[in-house]
Amino acid sequence: MSATVRRVLGEGFRVFFLAAGLYGLFTGVIWGMWLAAQAGEGPIGEASYAMAAPMWHAHEMIFGYATAALGGFFLTAVPNWTGAPGARTAYITAAAGLWLAGRAAMWFSASLAPWAVAVADLAFVPILAAKIATQLMRRPKPQNMIFLAFLAFIWIANLMAHLEWLGLTADTLDTGLRAGLLSLCGMIAVLGGRITPAFTRNAMKREGEPEETWPVSVPHLEKASLILALALPVPILILGPGAVAGVVALALGVVLFLRLSRWRARWALRQPILIALHLGLGMLGLGLILWGLALLGVGNEIGALHVLGIGAVGGMTLAVMSRAALGHSGRALIAPPPVAVAYGLMAAAALLRWIGAGLDAGYLVVMLAADGSWVVAFALYLVAMWPALTQPRASGAG
């Protein structure tokens, strides 16, 4: 095993943020090829996966790309929260192997038994949850333990998708996909709601800004946001996407914007690595409001879901992965120019996809433009962050 491979497998952020970037790029390219085929600009070959292409695409964005990003984040952040030892190379290697096995099983699902695909795809999240649970128990704070609930929601949502593919249920796939996405959104509301004002406050403090100008947290808004974020996936899992879920989403979206209005986004504009966090949470608030309205009969639900999936999940994971990779590899917390461009492209992709959902003429053109923005964003991320993810720490340790 080469030194680079050992290094990548030795820290969770390296292997999983690298995997997320590569898989985000791969899935974007594959989706773009499918869209081009629908437009008559490319061949339509026989797919290696068993499900319809849009379902493979949706599933892999939620339970493939996003879970890799979660793996890298939690394996890096939880030891810092609790003082627990970081995961060993053997565990990280095994966990990464399970994640990859799930992706391979989904890709080759047309040639595999549905139960084998389900087993392979459902294995990673429990292994991740078990590891971080043992670390969290060293300092079992409720505000950290709730992430185990979000991981459970994500796993149950994925199970619902597989139950339909197994033929055991008739209509749980769409609910599972939505519950998985909204579980990710709830988790982002909690995590992003912590780190965005904290990182902005720290940056303002370093630059000597007076304390009265720092981000302000309002306790009743913080509590409301936490309760609504944790509640967000529950009505979807129990009742399916409907009016109850729509009201919860609307309420959380409004609360998020009220919180964001106090976090000095205008000041953060001078630092791309900061404004990307504000932008990701802004996309989350916008997407939740649009989705809530759509469930209540106003607007396009698919467009709203993509504001959440691309703008909130894609945008916030890109922001957090790049920041964490820089910080934990001993590099300055300054977004490289390609990554700063990637932040903007991700937001553009979300808005283009939302616009495209309401079009008849030009639909595929706008869809391809949105997909192209996603692909270029991840290509830029990989090129710029490759040294931080694969090379020794900037200090020389490593």
> Which CATH number characterizes residue 358's domain?
1.20.210.10
- Residue 397 has a pLDDT of 44
Distances (CA, A) of 320 to 96, 99, 212, 309: 19, 20, 27, 15
**8 A C-beta contact, residue 273 and residue 323:** yes
Any idea of the CA torsion for 77, 157, 236, 297, to the nearest 10 degrees? 100
Q: How many residues does the chain have?
A: 398
Question: For residue 3, is it within any domain?
Answer: no
Tokens of 73: 């984040």
End-to-end Cα spacing for the chain: 16
Question: For residue 148, is it within any domain?
Answer: yes
- Residue 360 has a pLDDT of 84
Closest CA to 195 of 320, 329, 342: 320
Q: DSSP class of residue 359?
A: -
Tokens of 329: 């590899």
**8 A C-beta contact, residue 299 and residue 290:** yes
Question: For residue 395, is it within any domain?
Answer: no
Tokens of 373: 């923005």
- Residue 339 has a pLDDT of 98
- Residue 40 has a pLDDT of 76
Question: For residue 188, is it within any domain?
Answer: yes
Taking the C-alpha atoms of residue 250 and residue 327, their distance in angstroms, rounded to an integer, is: 35
Half-sphere exposure in the Cβ direction for 169 (13 Å, CA): 12
**How confident is the prediction for the chain on average, in pLDDT?**
95
**Could you give the number of structural domains in the chain?**
1
Question: For residue 126, is it within any domain?
Answer: yes
Closest CA to 264 of 277, 254, 253, 251: 277
Taking the C-alpha atoms of residue 172 and residue 188, their distance in angstroms, rounded to an integer, is: 24
pLDDT category of residue 362 using cuts at 50, 70 and 90: confident
* pLDDT tops 50 at residue 398: no
For residue 86, give every residue at least 6 positions away whose Cβ sits within 8 Å of its Cβ, in sequence order, or none.
11, 12, 75, 76, 79
Question: For residue 208, is it within any domain?
Answer: yes
Question: For residue 158, is it within any domain?
Answer: yes
Q: DSSP class of residue 184?
A: H
Question: For residue 2, is it within any domain?
Answer: no
- Residue 45 has a pLDDT of 64
Mean pLDDT of 179-192: 98
- Residue 396 has a pLDDT of 47
Mean pLDDT of 225-242: 96
Taking the C-alpha atoms of residue 8 and residue 111, their distance in angstroms, rounded to an integer, is: 31
**8 A C-beta contact, residue 74 and residue 15:** no
Q: What is the 3-state secondary structure (H, E, C) of 367-391?
A: HHHHHHHHHHHHHHHHHHHHHHHHC
**What domain range is 135 assigned to?**
8-390
**8 A C-beta contact, residue 83 and residue 138:** yes
- Residue 43 has a pLDDT of 54
Q: Cα 38 vs. chain centroid, distance in angstroms? A: 27
Taking the C-alpha atoms of residue 118 and residue 168, their distance in angstroms, rounded to an integer, is: 12
φ/ψ bin of 330: left (φ > 0), alpha (ψ from -120 to 50), beta (otherwise): left
Taking the C-alpha atoms of residue 161 and residue 157, their distance in angstroms, rounded to an integer, is: 7
* pLDDT tops 90 at residue 38: no
pLDDT category of residue 314 using cuts at 50, 70 and 90: very high
141 SS3 class: coil
**8 A C-beta contact, residue 20 and residue 68:** yes
What is the model's pTM? 0.96
- Residue 41 has a pLDDT of 60
Express each pLDDT in 274-303 by its tens digit.
Answer: 999 999 999 999 999 999 999 999 999 999
- Stretch among 44-58, 95-109, 184-198 having the lowest mean pLDDT: 44-58
Mean pLDDT of 145-173: 97
Express each pLDDT in 93-145 by its tens digit.
Answer: 999 999 999 999 999 999 999 999 999 999 999 999 999 999 999 888 889 99
**8 A C-beta contact, residue 398 and residue 7:** yes
pLDDT category of residue 42 using cuts at 50, 70 and 90: low
Distances (CA, A) of 147 to 2, 197, 230, 287: 35, 19, 9, 22
pLDDT category of residue 175 using cuts at 50, 70 and 90: very high
Backbone angles phi, psi at 139, to 5 degrees: -140, 80
Distances (CA, A) of 361 to 41, 135, 147, 351: 16, 53, 43, 17
